[in-house]
């Protein structure tokens, strides 16, 4: 039994000249009309829900008809609500129609005409006369001029670039006021003084523990991010401040109650500065910054591990930056060291296999001269870089563990020449001194070739 009344179909058929219709045909047409109407209504409700509305409009019906490849209705796009009238043609047969608004022609004729639009013209005016700006509509008003005064201008507009140029006492007027409670202001000042306190280890540990676990620090996140950037920019020669800044960054990242995704792009530059900066720490002590670079590499790896899914370009960008500073011969050895450990922390074994291993032979030429200069600081730096290179290459051995089990006993030959061609004589000599054949096989990828040969034979 269809909900649609078959009498309506019979009336329409008679109006177009079809005198009689079978009852089965009427019933089938009623069911089909009911299905088509429900289909249109379902599509219309989809448009209504996607528009975040709770009232169905004629526009939704028109869009639904267009989606269903049906010619849309015309004349029902008015924003005014439609008024329906009711007319009766017999007992129990009401007819509803749209009431048209009656227009009085006399009022329409006597109504005043709208204003004629002005023609487009070009006029000249003075921006300033003898240094004074005339108050005419073409020039900015006084209110606009005052709003421009709030924008920082001059060489001190950017506090970080001003600090690099030596202008440390630069004050920037904030454009927006952020209201903090007195408790949060007191917490921020106390936590900052505790983290950078050189005299009390317990004080620093308590502050970092609070930053790792406190759930109510959401409003202070922008201030901590700005503090981290300022501390790194202004204290490149102070290793203690740089180390504590990294500890502060790590504590904020470890706090599971904080949402730091919008601030990752602001936290990475200070960490990268501590990793691949040219001159970190006091002059004359290049090795002192290596522990700081190790901490920065560990922190950078944890950032990539935590936020790589939300930012798909994070790892590639950091990998390109670290690779650039690793292979740049104009950079100091400490910067090359930061690039090596940064690549290992960001990309793991795959970065070592694809980016570090193919470039070891070309890079080792930069280490030969410093290694021959005995007793100098350059020799100690080159030794640290060489140790970092071999440590990164050792991850390939762990990744290919068990591959040597497929190598026949009669084929454990000496691969000194192949290893020198692969990684250069300097690195090859250090690797061979370690006496680890599996490490050599991993570098030469012998285990992979034998595994492929055994699979083909089977």
What is the pLDDT, as a whole number, of residue 412?
A: 38
Res 449: pLDDT: 42
User: How far apart, in whole angstroms, are the C-alpha atoms of residue 248 and residue 233?
Assistant: 15
pLDDT of residue 176: 54
C-alpha distances in angstroms, 438 versus 206, 275, 408?
46, 31, 13
pLDDT digits (tens, 9 = 90+) for 11-25: 888 888 887 888 888
The answer to whether residues 230 and 159 touch, using CB atoms and an 8 Å cutoff, is yes
pTM over 0.85: no
As a whole number of angstroms, the distance between CA 416 and CA 418 comes to 6
pLDDT at 456 over 60: no
Where does 180-332 have alpha helices with state H? 182-195, 201-213, 221-234, 239-254, 264-276, 290-307, 314-327
Tell me the C-alpha distance between 400 and 445, whole Å: 9
Strand partners, 85: 97
Token pair, residue 382, equals 């080159």
pLDDT tens-digit profile of 122-135? 878 777 777 677 77
User: Which value, in Å, is the radius of gyration of the alpha carbons in the chain?
Assistant: 38
> What pLDDT shows up at residue 452?
45
In 85-154, alpha helices (H) = 105-110, 142-149
Measured in whole angstroms, the distance separating CA 343 from the mean position of its chain's CA atoms is 20
Q: Which of 105-119, 149-163, 196-210 comes out lowest in average pLDDT? A: 149-163
Q: Is residue 375 pLDDT above 80, yes or no?
A: no
Q: Does residue 174 contact residue 157 with C-beta atoms inside 8 Å?
A: no
- pLDDT at position 405, please? 46
More confident residue, 80 or 288: 288
């Amino acid at each position: 039994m269809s909900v649609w009344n078959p009498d309506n179909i019979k009336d329409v058929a008679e109006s177009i000249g079809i005198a009689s219709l079978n009852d089965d045909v009427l019933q089938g047409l009623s069911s089909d009309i009911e299905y088509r109407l429900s289909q249109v209504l379902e599509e219309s409700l989809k448009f209504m829900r996607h528009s975040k509305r709770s009232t169905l409009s004629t526009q939704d019906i028109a869009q639904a008809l267009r989606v269903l490849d049906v010619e849309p209705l015309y004349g029902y796009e008015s924003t005014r609500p439609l008024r329906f009238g009711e007319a009766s043609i017999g007992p129990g047969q009401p007819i509803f129609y749209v009431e048209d608004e009656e227009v009085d022609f006399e009022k329409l004729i006597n109504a005043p005409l709208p204003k004629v639009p002005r023609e487009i013209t070009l006029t000249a005016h003075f921006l300033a006369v003898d240094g004074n700006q005339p108050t005419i509509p073409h020039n900015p008003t006084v209110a606009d001029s005052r709003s421009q005064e709030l924008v920082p201008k001059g060489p001190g507009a950017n506090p970080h670039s001003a600090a690099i140029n030596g202008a440390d006492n630069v004050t920037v007027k904030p454009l927006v006021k952020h209201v903090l409670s007195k408790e949060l202001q007191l917490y921020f000042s106390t936590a900052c003084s505790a983290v950078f306190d050189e005299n009390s280890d317990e004080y620093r540990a308590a502050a970092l523990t609070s930053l790792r676990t406190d759930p109510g620090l959401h409003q202070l996140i922008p201030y901590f991010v700005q503090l981290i950037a300022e501390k790194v920019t202004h204290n490149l020669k102070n290793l203690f401040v740089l180390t504590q800044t990294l500890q502060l960054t790590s504590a904020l990242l470890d706090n599971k109650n904080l949402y730091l995704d919008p601030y990752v792009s602001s936290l990475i530059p200070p960490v990268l500065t501590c990793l691949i900066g040219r001159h970190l720490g006091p002059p004359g002590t290049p090795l002192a910054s290596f522990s700081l670079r190790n901490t920065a590499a560990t922190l950078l790896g944890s950032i990539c591990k935590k936020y790589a899914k939300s930012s798909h370009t994070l790892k590639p960008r950091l990998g390109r930056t670290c690779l650039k500073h690793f292979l740049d011969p104009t950079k100091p050895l400490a910067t090359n060291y930061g690039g090596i450990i940064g690549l290992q922390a960001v990309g793991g074994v795959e970065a070592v296999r694809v980016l570090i291993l193919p470039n070891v032979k070309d890079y080792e030429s930069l280490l030969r001269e410093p290694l021959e200069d005995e007793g100098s600081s350059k020799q100690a730096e080159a030794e640290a870089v060489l140790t970092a290179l071999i440590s990164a290459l050792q991850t390939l051995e762990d990744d290919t563990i068990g591959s040597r089990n497929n190598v026949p006993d009669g084929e454990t030959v000496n691969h000194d020449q192949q290893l020198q061609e692969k990684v250069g004589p300097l690195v090859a000599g250090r690797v061979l001194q370690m006496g680890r054949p599996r490490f050599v096989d991993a570098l030469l990828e012998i285990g992979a070739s034998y595994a492929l040969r055994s699979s083909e034979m089977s």
